[in-house]
Amino acid sequence: MPQVALTVNGKQHTVEVEGRTLLVELLREKLGLTGTHVGCDTSQCGACVVHVDGVSAKSCTMLALQADGTNVLTIEGLAAADGTLHPMQEMFREHHALQCGFCTPGMVMSAVDLVNSHPQGLTEKQIREGLEGNLCRCTGYHNIVKAIAAAWPLMHQKAAAE
């Protein structure tokens, strides 16, 4: 079986996979990182979003072999090493932007990329359009939109300070 070598949440792994193994299957089944979820089979729901080399990607739509040599960040690796939540995680909690929690890992990872890629600011409309690839059935998105808007200044102030 072919091998794939990649870094996940700062740890290096070399894993044997089938040619057809998806990145999300590698994460969930080979590495036990079950925080990344599978909510559909048509690349529509976004529950599986992770960051590959810093950019959000649907891990159900990427072969594990395509991730060879990449640096993958999953929801498990988003908080600081001491457990301090990322500002996006903190704002999701503060604004009640999650209910059942199933879409949440993908939603948070998409939201982080959305904020990162909009250093000039984010309107409500841009946030809603930016969530095109993520479905939530519980919240009606109201509080997700609020949480992302609230995380934007926290993330960019933090980036500016560093």
Our finding on whether 138 is near another protein (CB under 8 A) is: yes
Q: How far apart are CA 146 and CA 95, in angstroms?
A: 7
Is residue 10 a contact residue for another protein (CB under 8 A)? no
- Residue span 15-54 as binding mask against another protein, x where in contact by CB under 8 A, dash where not: ---x-x-------x----xxxxxxxxxx-xx-x-------
Contact status: 159 vs another protein (CB under 8 A): no
**CA-CA distance, 57 to 50, in Å (whole number)?**
6
- Judged by CB under 8 A, the residue of 2, 101, 119, 121 near another protein is 101
How far, in Å, CA of 156 to CA of 62, rounded?
30
Asked whether 48 and 36 are in contact (CB, 8 A), the reply is yes
Cα distance between residue 122 and residue 135, in whole Å = 20
Q: Which is nearer to another protein, 18 or 53 (CB)?
A: 18
Through-space distance between the first and last CA atoms of the chain, rounded to whole angstroms: 43
CB atoms inside a 10 Å sphere around CB 151: 26
For another protein, the binding residue among 5, 55, 79, 159 (CB under 8 A) is 79
Residues near another protein, by CB under 8 A: 18, 20, 28, 33-42, 44-45, 47, 74-76, 78-79, 85, 89, 92-94, 96, 98-105, 108, 124-125, 127-129, 131-132, 134-145
